[in-house]
Structure 1
């Protein structure tokens, strides 16, 4: 009887660890996606400015 209770507690702890790991992964993924969007926007903006400046000068 004690063994099954201990096993159940271990299984619960494992589930909690897995859930927190998934949460952490999703959170870091969201932050990475935000950073990626920022860099894509920034690089496209810089390239647009470069093209504008090279076309504007005769």
Structure 2
């Protein structure tokens, strides 16, 4: 059984096989659109704030 996924860019159905050269994308165009969105920082991974380095805390006191 072949898995079918939706292209993350346009939503077109894509077979998850080795023959699907750009999986999970349907085409190189959709792959490049997604890469461009990452480069323009349109996608963000949320964080709870900057991590503190223990050495930095020592300098503050």
Report the TM-score when normalising by structure 2. 0.23
- Comparing both chains, which one has the higher relative contact order based on Cα–Cα distances under 8 Å and sequence gaps of 6 or more? 2
Larger relative strand fraction: 2
Query: Which protein is bigger by CA-based radius of gyration?
Result: 1
Larger relative helix fraction: 1
Report the TM-score when normalising by structure 1. 0.24
